[in-house]
Chain A
């Protein structure tokens, strides 16, 4: 039986821009992954609960409203609390370069800004999935 990579694509907070998240979800599906899409307006608790139940390998956070420093880090902290350290966390959206080191320190492995080719995200996940 082939092991499939399971990815959670989540939209934390109130941001309603989902064009990118949907395109990434679709591309990951086309790359053979099982993608659970949460829809909009997710709290950190909802995202982590979902990640646990769906036993995902990757949590992808998409945010264009500027609230990433709070919300991405909330999710990373909660995942750690629930001992989900084997989950790869990645992020995307409108995230200034200067915030990226802080996010990485908090546990977000990589941030994919505007203009990132979708293949780059697919390859990164395939290479860096922890399980």
Chain B
């Protein structure tokens, strides 16, 4: 086992951070360590936090982290912000809300850019979750970008997905993209000190009433950071969900789905790397694209040709 892997398993912050960087940048040593640490993962509870911008996700995660710390748990936080499609850079500012946790050795916070990946996530997210898991985190909170309809991808990774709303979101809860409403394991109506809470909760309830044959009624928790209300309840609902998963065997099913998604992602990255690598297939690909433009070749035949070269 590499020294880096050993240090990560020992929970050394510097090494955890270093491995995350290596994995994000696809640098040598990354894959070796990822292979070595996998068997030490599986004990962390993964909670995804998604929702519209301005719903107070960061503050909510901060409060949840405090609550988990009070239970003696180690907490990992992954805060994702959008990478600019133009410059490739990113402004990662979610830590501002969590600044008091920076010096708590039982908490590890990492900010990440989406780096071109759709879904409000980052393609290295699976890796980072595994790293934090192997490093001993009991709970891993993931904050997604929260724009558009793509946040639904978080279900692939999280055991429990929280969808955060705020009261007075305009006309109705129906205006929120359908996918977002379906992925929620728990609805959180944050900033519950503002007017319109009851109405938002009522709309959510009636929407849930319409969902037939649901095995489990999605709980709705109203929280207010200002008034310090609802956090304890939210934590207990998260526990309940965890219990429910284990009892209903959905737990294994979800985990399986996660590893499937992770495997697909690793294969996809490798494949893309191969295809767009100068030394490998890029020249062939470029040539195909030229031919497609000139109508000398159609895209499907081009795909046949390229895949044929890989699968040979």
Q: Which residues of A contact B (CB under 8 A)?
A: 1-4, 6, 25-26, 28-39, 41-43, 45-46, 49-50, 52-55, 82-83
Contacts and interface: CB of A to CB of B under 8 A. Distances in A.
Task: Please report whether the interface of chain A is mostly helix, strand, loop or mixed according to DSSP.
Answer: mixed
A30 B85 CA distance: 10
Given A52-B17, A53-B13, A55-B17, A38 B99 contact: yes
B167 to A, nearest CB: 26
B91 A26 contact: yes
Contacts of B16: 53
23 contacts: A1-B24, A4-B113, A29-B91, A30-B89, A31-B87, A31-B89, A32-B87, A32-B88, A33-B89, A34-B90, A35-B90, A35-B91, A35-B92, A36-B92, A36-B93, A38-B99, A46-B99, A52-B13, A53-B102, A54-B92, A55-B17, A55-B21, A83-B14
A34 B95 contact: no
A6 B83 CA distance: 13
A30 B111 contact: no
B205 interface: no
Contacts of A30: 84, 86-87, 89
B301 to A, nearest CB: 30
B187 interface: no
Q: How large, as a class, is the contact surface on chain B?
A: 20 to 34
Contacts of B103: 43, 45-46, 49
B69 interface: no
B57 to A, nearest CB: 16
- Which of B16, B26, B27, B88 has the most A CB atoms < 10 Å from its CB? B88
Given A4-B89, A54-B111, 16 more contacts: A1-B27, A2-B88, A26-B91, A28-B89, A29-B91, A30-B84, A31-B89, A34-B89, A37-B95, A38-B99, A39-B95, A49-B103, A52-B13, A53-B16, A53-B108, A55-B18
